[in-house]
Amino acid sequence: MNCSHTKDMTHSQMYWYRQRPGETMTLIVYTAVGVQPDYGRAPETKYSAKKEKAESGALTVNDLQPEDSGVCLSVQVHQTPPALLRRPGDKVQLVCSHEKTDYYLMYWYQKSPGDRALKRACLGVEVRQSASDLITKPGDKVQIFCTHDKTDYRLMLWYQQSPGDTAMKLIGYLYFKTVTMENLYEKQFNISGDLGGNTAKNGSLVFQTSGFEHSAVYYCAASEAQ
């Protein structure tokens, strides 16, 4: 599989993802010009990635099996500045951008010198969602709960990712007690909760299943109010 873009030479990093039917996206390999591909937990005997030019790259999947069925994605991002030399105590700001208008999540990774592993950097917010899995019949009422302990995070967002779809679609969000729903979901879905006070935050997503269109992976996210 080949991936290319028409951006400038600073767009030198390329990430390859796999999404199996009914599952979320997983990173296969990180590549950059002049750097050995980082496969993380992916077996190098299974995948082979090349990145000889800034504007293009390729991924090969060896020994294809039925479980290899899925959607493979290559995402090109622009990060500035591409390199930094700083003294201890200096403040550093990195800026990341891309043109995928339906991609709502951005992850930051750290790769230390001599370390082949990519370590994900995050805010340390643990969001707990239950139930983790549900099997329902058409007409059943479904309620999914979301909790976290960041008492100053007053915004809770709910997303839906349908099978075979790479996009995560915003259903709506809760701000303190105020609910805002996207037009596509406002008739079939409801969000409730109270994010006020200085205690653990709780919210829920409620909907009534009507068929295959509700078969999906649902995500809850927490954020500070902007």
Q: Are residues 85 and 132 in the same domain?
A: no
Compute how many other C-beta atoms are within 10 angstroms of the C-beta atom of residue 122.
8
Q: Which of 59, 87, 121 is the last residue of a domain?
A: 121
Under 8 Å between Cβ of 58 and 112: no
Q: Report the predicted TM-score, pTM, of the whole model to 2 decimal places.
A: 0.46
Q: How far apart are the first and last CA of the chain?
A: 40
Domain span at 93: 2-121
Q: What is residue 33's predicted lDDT score, i.e. its pLDDT?
A: 80
DSSP three-state, residue 69:
coil
Q: Detail the DSSP E strand segments found in 89-194.
A: 95-97, 108-110, 119-121, 128-130, 141-148, 155-161, 169-175, 178-181, 189-194
What DSSP string runs through 82-116? Answer: S-----TT-----EEE---TT-----EEE--TT--
Q: Are residues 80 and 133 in the same domain?
A: no
Q: Are residues 110 and 6 in the same domain?
A: yes
Amino acid present at 222 = A
Q: Are residues 165 and 105 in the same domain?
A: no
Q: Are residues 11 and 104 in the same domain?
A: yes
pLDDT per residue, tens digit, the chain (226 aa), is 888 777 666 667 787 877 666 565 677 887 888 778 888 777 888 888 888 887 888 888 888 777 666 655 555 556 666 666 667 777 877 777 766 666 555 666 666 665 544 454 544 455 676 766 777 777 788 899 988 888 888 888 888 888 777 677 889 999 999 999 998 898 999 999 989 888 888 999 999 887 677 888 888 888 776 5
Query: What is d(CA 49, CA 16) in angstroms, rounded to the nearest whole number?
Result: 9
Q: Which of 121, 144, 163 is the last residue of a domain?
A: 121
Q: Are residues 137 and 117 in the same domain?
A: no
Q: Are residues 144 and 110 in the same domain?
A: no
Q: What is residue 113's predicted lDDT score, i.e. its pLDDT?
A: 64
Q: Are residues 72 and 8 in the same domain?
A: yes
The CATH number linked to 165 is 2.60.40.10
Q: Are residues 115 and 155 in the same domain?
A: no
DSSP three-state, residue 68:
helix
* C-alpha of 83 from chain center: 25
What are 108's two structure tokens?
A: 């930051």
Q: Are residues 92 and 170 in the same domain?
A: no
Q: Are residues 116 and 138 in the same domain?
A: no
What are 13's two structure tokens?
A: 């990093």
Domain count, the chain: 2
Q: What is residue 56's predicted lDDT score, i.e. its pLDDT?
A: 84
Please name the residues in contact with 57: beta carbons below 8 A apart, sequence gap of 6 or more.
Answer: 2, 3, 4, 14, 16, 31, 49, 50, 51, 74
Q: Which of 57, 91, 121 is the last residue of a domain?
A: 121
Q: Are residues 11 and 51 in the same domain?
A: yes
